[in-house]
């Protein structure tokens, strides 16, 4: 029964290849080429993961990346309007990604590798800017670190020992 539930959850997952990069290793007889695939897996309901796979063949590298992404899934709090609860800056290596909430109808304004991460997490309205490096791996990992730092209003209120309505007293616009 638990196995059936796991299969059902895995069938809901979508996967997207962010990039495939050819790398080489110099050995005595010449160069050995292999491929690195960066893959994002998500269910569109707040659960997302990124993974990397390396192999001499493309399908095998992608499959390894998908397996790695499924192992490294995390939850992202998404509001009713399909955005994030607050602004956050993600850091990884030299990569920095600024992620801001956006109003309904804005869409996903994100460059290159972080767009599939937001789309598969179920975030429909967000603004982001990549700062620092243009290395796709560091950018997407920085964005993932930023998303991991997000906390929902419920979690913040619980941590402070108050209700959500108490937390926003005097903030009505």
The fold for domain 2-74 equals Double Stranded RNA Binding Domain (3.30.160)
User: What is the DSSP track for 39-96?
Assistant: EEEE-SSSEEEEEEEEESSHHHHHHHHHHHHHHTEEE----TTSS-SS-EEEEETTEE
pLDDT at 3: 59
pLDDT at 162: 80
**In the block, which residue shows the tokens 């616009």?**
173
Ranges in the chain annotated CATH 3.30.230.10: 76-158
Per-residue pLDDT of the chain (173 residues; tens, 9 = 90+): 555 555 555 668 899 999 999 999 999 999 999 999 999 999 988 899 999 999 999 999 999 999 999 999 999 988 888 888 889 999 999 999 999 999 998 899 988 889 999 999 999 999 999 998 888 899 999 999 999 988 777 777 788 888 877 777 766 55
| All residues at 6 or more sequence positions from 153 whose CB lies less than 8 Å from its CB, including other chains | 85, 164, 167, 168
Is CATH 3.40.720.10 the right assignment for the domain spanning 76-158?
no
| All residues at 6 or more sequence positions from 49 whose CB lies less than 8 Å from its CB, including other chains | 40, 41, 42, 69, 70, 71, 72, 73, 74
- pTM, 2 dp: 0.84
Ranges in the chain annotated CATH 3.30.160.20: 2-74
pLDDT at 8: 57
């Amino acid at each position: 029964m638990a196995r059936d539930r796991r299969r059902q959850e895995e069938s809901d997952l979508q996967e997207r290849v962010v990039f495939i990069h050819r790398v080489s290793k110099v050995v005595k007889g010449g160069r050995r080429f292999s491929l690195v695939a960066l893959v994002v897996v998500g269910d569109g309901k707040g659960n997302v993961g990124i993974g990397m796979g390396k192999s001499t063949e493309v399908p095998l590298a992608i499959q390894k990346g998908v397996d790695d992404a499924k192992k490294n899934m995390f939850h992202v709090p998404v509001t009713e309007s399909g955005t994030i609860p607050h602004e956050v800056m993600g850091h990884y290596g030299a990569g920095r990604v600024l992620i801001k909430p956006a109003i309904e109808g804005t869409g996903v304004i994100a460059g290159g590798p972080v767009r599939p991460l937001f789309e598969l997490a179920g975030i429909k309205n967000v603004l982001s800017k990549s700062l620092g490096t243009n290395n796709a791996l560091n950018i997407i990992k920085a964005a993932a670190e930023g998303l991991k730092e997000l906390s929902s209003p419920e979690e913040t209120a619980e941590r402070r020992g108050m209700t959500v309505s108490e937390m926003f007293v005097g903030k009505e616009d």
